Amino acid sequence: MDCVDLIGLCFDGSGRALGQAGAPSRFRDAGLAAALPDARVASDIVVSEPDATRGPLAGFVNERALLEMVDAVYARVRAALGAGRFPLLYGGDCAALLGAVPAVRDADGTAGLLFVDAHEDATTMEESTTGEAANMEVALLLGMTAGSAPESMRSRLPALAPEAIAMLGQRDANYRDEIGVSSIADRVLLHGAEEVRRDPEPTAARAAARVGAQAPGWWLHVDLDVLDASAFRACGAAGDPSMPEGLTWAQLTQVTRTALQAGFCRGWSIGVYNADLDPDGRDAQRVVSYLAEVATSAVAAPAG
């Protein structure tokens, strides 16, 4: 795998002491560098000590660390793209997209997003009961919310047009009903988990083609909660009993490989591995195996 920068993201959106912030070291312990021998292991993004309370600026949980993380992701992704490299962010959660997608937009003029996740993550800041940015990043990127966001974040938003995002694997209808948040399936292309399970490769190919037709370069995001609880235990959301069946590892591998082979992908993030839920490192090893399986497809054709 050539021209790849492996960038660890030591950030936990819930403000836990370890949690998702432990992903980079766990993945490296599980053999990440050996699995991707041609990639360059860059230094981790490290932020302030976690704080599980809501912050004073916009009410985000772990707010200081979140804003530092978003700025650092933006800078690192923009630098990698400027050097003609392919950034692969591992660790953290979906809030990393608040830095990555604007970086692609500013590098290429327009950005797209292929979003593989069990949730739509389109809760607005006004609707959020938790303050976790990882439940709101799609709403923020689309400009559905952000009026009360800190200036450093607000200045980069919106970063996506609705037609430039395709969503795969969602199965959160019960959760959205619980918190009273409407689906955005009427404004973006969305293929739910059942459809993806039934036809993973053609569905991913159509989604990637749609995104690629809207933007000269696009970002791929994989939230590991898209996996079924029987396949992956190191994520609390994946095991939510209110959630319908998720993807298998084989299906996620098919989706990812197909998407990357479509071309014009500028970077990739994989997140929401919780080290606290994987004491023996078994799930970390499975994540690394997955990355190795799709590694040959991970460098996209040049954008433009």
pLDDT tens sequence across 84-106: 999 999 999 999 999 999 999 99
Where does the chain have alpha helices with state H? 23-29, 32-35, 63-82, 97-108, 137-142, 151-154, 173-179, 193-198, 200-214, 249-261, 282-294
Question: Interior CA angle at 204 toward 74 and 241, to 5°?
Answer: 85
Q: Phi and psi of 115, rounded to 5°?
A: -115, 105
Distance CA 207, CA 211 (A): 6
Residue 272 contacts by C-beta under 8 Å, 6 or more apart in sequence? 20, 93, 94, 134, 223, 224, 225, 235, 237
Rounded-to-10 torsion of CA 156, 157, 158, 160? 50
Asked whether 227 and 252 are in contact (CB, 8 A), the reply is: yes
46-60 pLDDT per residue, tens: 999 999 999 999 999
Alpha carbon distance, N-terminus to C-terminus of the chain: 21
Write down the pLDDT at residue 61.
97
Tokens linked to 96: 């990393």
Write down the pLDDT at residue 304.
41
Nearest to 257 by CA among 288, 220, 224, 283: 220
Question: pTM value?
Answer: 0.96
Write down the pLDDT at residue 302.
42
Instruction: Give the residues of the chain that fall short of pLDDT 50.
Output: 1, 299-304
Distance CA 9, CA 201 (A): 29
Distance CA 138, CA 170 (A): 13
Residue 182 burial (CB count, 10 A)? 12
Write down the pLDDT at residue 187.
96
